[in-house]
Amino acid sequence: MRSVRRLLREPLGVFGLALVLLVIFGAIFADLLTSWDPTRINPRDRFLGPSTDHLLGTDQLGRDLFARVLHGGRIALYVALVSTAISLAIGIVLGLIAGYGPRWLDNLLILLFDAMKSFPTVMLALALVTITGPSLTAVIVVVILVNVPGYARIVRTQTIAIKTSEFVTAAQSMGASTTRILRVHIMPNVIGPLVILASMDIPVVIAIEAGMSFLGLGVRPPTPSWGSILNDGFGQIRETPWIAIAGGLPIIITTLGFTFLGETLRDVFDPRLKGR
């Protein structure tokens, strides 16, 4: 495919793709890459530095950090994919309705999006966790609430721009139903740029997950998460820096990988945006 070829010609894109593939590979084959159990406590092996046995060392409970990082990657990617997919689905539907529906509904939905958007993420997370208690689901819900308004707004703007174009009028003149017009004629034209945008949002999602877990609002111990590993190492960062590094490095790698990949994808698919 032409776009794939063009992507592979951009060094930054290839680099991003490699990082992303590395993270995905680690998450999928976590069990094959290490024999350590990420949750097993080993009081005798506390605070061991990196070695051939423990590639990234161990934490304050003697758990193997390499295993925890790999399994933490599963959590991070799971949250990123599930919440982004749900956000996209909700965002597209609401955006199409706002853009194509009657004016009053549009105004109402815009009000809703603005209200959602005006909530600071941390406040939202705290409020939600007070009600439900910390959990993976809470993280996903927070991410959805944060992402949906942005996606819906983009879809709405695109829909408004497209709905007066001649091919939509032509579909109306053929007698196409509203759902058909939205599904067949409008949606395929808004979805491409949106998916690229969402791929650039994935690092943000991963940061939210890590952040919430860091604050103890996300994944519950002993389940490994990059955020909680970082938190574990945070207290002893001077004495045993490898714990914080083990938690922080994968966040940096993933963020860079998805950002480079997303930006290159955007340029490849829409060269007009280049250098914006």
Partner 1 sequence: MSGSPILSVRDVQVSFPVGGLTTRSAILGVAGVSFDVHRGETFALVGESGSGKTTLARAINGLQHVSDGSITFDGERIDVLGKSGMKQIRRRMSMMFQDPVGSLSPRMTVGDLVTEPFRIHGTEGRNLRDEANRLLTLVGLPADFASRYPHQLSGGQARRVGVARAIALNPSLIIADEPTAGLDVSVQGEVLNLLNELRERLGLAMVIITHNLHVVHHVADRMAVMYLGRFVETGETEAVFAAPRHPYTAALLSANPEPDPDRAHDRITLPAEVPSLLSRPLGCEFHTRCPWAQSICTTAQPPSGNVACHFPLEPGARPPSKKVPS
Partner 2 sequence: MSTLSISGLNVYFSTEDGPLHALKDVGFDVPERRIVGIVGESGCGKSTLINAILGLLADNGDIRSGEIVFEGMRDLTKLSARGMQDLRGLRISTVFQDPMGALNPVLSVGRQMTNIQYRSGQSHSEKVARAIEMLKLVRIPDAENALARYPHQFSGGMKQRIAIAMALMMEPALLIADEPTTALDATLEVTTIELLKDLQEKIGCSVLFISHHLGVIAELCDDVVVMYAGEVVERGTVRDVFQRPSHPYTRRLLECDPARQTQRTRVLPTIPGEIPDLRARPAGCVFAARCLDRHDGCDQHQPERSVSGGHAVRCNLVGSRQTQGEQA
- In whole angstroms, how close is the CB of 270 to partner 2 at the nearest point? 16
**Cα distance between residue 194 and residue 154, in whole Å:** 8
Pick the stretch among 12-20, 29-37, 153-161, 168-176 that binds partner 1 (CB under 8 A). Answer: 168-176
Q: Among residues 29 and 167, whose Cβ is nearest to partner 1?
A: 167
Pick the stretch among 88-96, 106-114, 161-169, 211-219 that binds partner 1 (CB under 8 A). Answer: 161-169
**CA 190 to mean position of chain CA atoms:** 20
| Residue 157 binding: pick among partner 1, partner 2, none (C-beta 5-8 Å cut-off by kind) | none
Position of tokens 């705290």? 126
The Cα-based distances of 3 to 257, 258, 267, 271, 276 in angstroms read 18, 17, 10, 11, 20
By CB under 8 A, is residue 173 in contact with partner 1? Answer: yes
By CB under 8 A, is residue 54 in contact with partner 1? Answer: no
| Binding test (CB under 8 A) with partner 2, winner from 2, 103, 238, 272 | 2
Nearest to 170 by CA among 158, 184, 160: 184
Name residue 64's beta-bridge partners: 58
- In whole angstroms, how close is the CB of 200 to partner 1 at the nearest point? 22
Q: Which amino acid is at 48?
A: L
For residue 102, the number of C-alpha atoms closer than 13 Å in the C-beta half-sphere is 2
Angle, nearest 10°, between helix axes 226-234 and 65-100? 130
By CB under 8 A, is residue 220 in contact with partner 2? Answer: no
Q: Which of residues 184-223 bind partner 1 (CB under 8 A)?
A: 184-185, 188-189
Site string for partner 2, 6-45 (x = CB under 8 A): x---------------------------------------
Nearest to 164 by CA among 104, 109, 99, 103: 99
- The SS3 of residue 64 is strand
| Residue 177 binding: pick among partner 1, partner 2, none (C-beta 5-8 Å cut-off by kind) | partner 1
Burial of 217 (0-12, 13-18, 19+ CB in 10 A): buried
| Residue 6 binding: pick among partner 2, partner 1, none (C-beta 5-8 Å cut-off by kind) | partner 2
**Cα distance between residue 196 and residue 16, in whole Å:** 14
Residues within the interface to partner 2 (CB under 8 A): 2, 5-6
- Chain residues binding partner 1 by CB under 8 A are 165-167, 169-177, 180, 184-185, 188-189
